[in-house]
Amino acid sequence: MIALVFLGSAGVAALLFALDARQRRTTGASVPSGPAEQSPAPDDASAAASPTAPPPASAAPRPVRSARPLERPEEGACPRDMVLVAGEHCPFVAHRCTKSRPPARPGEPATCEKFANEVLCEGALIPMRFCMDRFEYPNVERALPAVLISFEHAEAACAAEGKRLCAAREWAFACEGEAVLPYPIGLERTASACNWDAGPEARVVPSRGPTVERAVAKVDRRAPAGERAGCDSPFGARDLAGNVAEWVVEPINSRTRHPFASVIAGGAWGKGPGTCRALDDGHPPLHRAVTVGFRCCADAFGAGPPRATGRKGAGLVPIVPPRGLP
């Protein structure tokens, strides 16, 4: 049982949750609640000396292993609350923006509203096959996604369910598909498709404690998971664009210095770029933000990982979106 801090209720209350994956699956509840957290609020870059606090980043903890095996579904490669992501991933990609708007803040990148119908794909294609949660954690439709969760706690939460945090490469492929879309919904940042461009993002400091509820309520623009039916990726994962950005793992990076293994993928409900390849590796594992959540991945059942075919990217090619996408 892992203790985590969530802001996932409709009233945006700061609660201490006891994560029990079996109970959550049995009851169908989004999250079981507990007493409000009253612990002191440490700085985001340092660990609190309490039984529920993650180890300090300098301790360089070993990779989190699953606390329990993932239950094999009666049929199919993934449990019902996960989607199968399978195909060939292009390692080096470039898109060309044809319509952009100025950045939300000075120094930030511009946001592209429309990309050209072409993509530059280079390098040997990487075969991939894995399962991904359909929704942002707690992976329950119509539940608000969890935020203000550190990378360390996100790893522990996935492990408690027999899963793991998605790798950065996995997250990007689940978002863009084999068509290598810039956004999971296609070439355009359609305003109504996903929960993005909802307002300016802001920090909440401190990121936990008795004052968090009021602070978050002033800036929060999350939508319930799955509310935007048009915000599906080519594989059926919902809200990979907008709503909340998500923690992923970049194994070649470090846990104690930049670039960090704790990487934030995609974008949230604000005006950031939020493309499938948007990554931020500038935050340590204890960082918490009101716009950052996570979802889990797992190895697929059945056939093992596919073998590399030796195929390479074809250079500059037209984008052919999957059927149903613009």
What is the predicted pLDDT for the residue at 207?
A: 81
Collapse the DSSP code of 24 into the 3-class scheme (helix H, G, I; strand E, B; otherwise coil) and give the result. Answer: helix
Task: Check residue 28 and give its pLDDT.
Answer: 37
pLDDT (0 to 100) of residue 65? 56
Pick out the chain residues at pLDDT < 50: 1-63
What per-residue confidence (pLDDT) applies to 323?
Answer: 61
The pLDDT assigned to 11 comes to 31
- Residue 194 has a pLDDT of 96
User: What is the pTM (predicted TM-score) of this model?
Assistant: 0.79
Which residue from 40, 39, 45, 30 is spatially nearest to 146, judged by alpha carbons?
30
CA distance 197 to 220: 13
So what's the pLDDT on residue 66? Answer: 58
Note the pLDDT tens digit of each residue in 225-272.
999 999 999 999 999 999 999 999 999 999 999 999 999 999 999 988
10 Å CB burial of residue 42 (0-12, 13-18, 19+) is: middle
Determine the CATH number of domain 79-326.
3.90.1580
Contact (CB, 8 A) for 254 and 283: no
pLDDT of residue 18: 35
Q: N- to C-terminal Cα distance for the chain?
A: 44
Main-chain phi, psi angles of 89, to 5 degrees: -100, 135
Give the number of other CB atoms < 10 A from CB of residue 123: 12
- Render the burial of 221-236: b for 16+ CB within 10 Å, e for the rest: bbbbbbebeebbbbbe
CA dist 165 → 54, 223, 306 (Å): 16, 22, 21
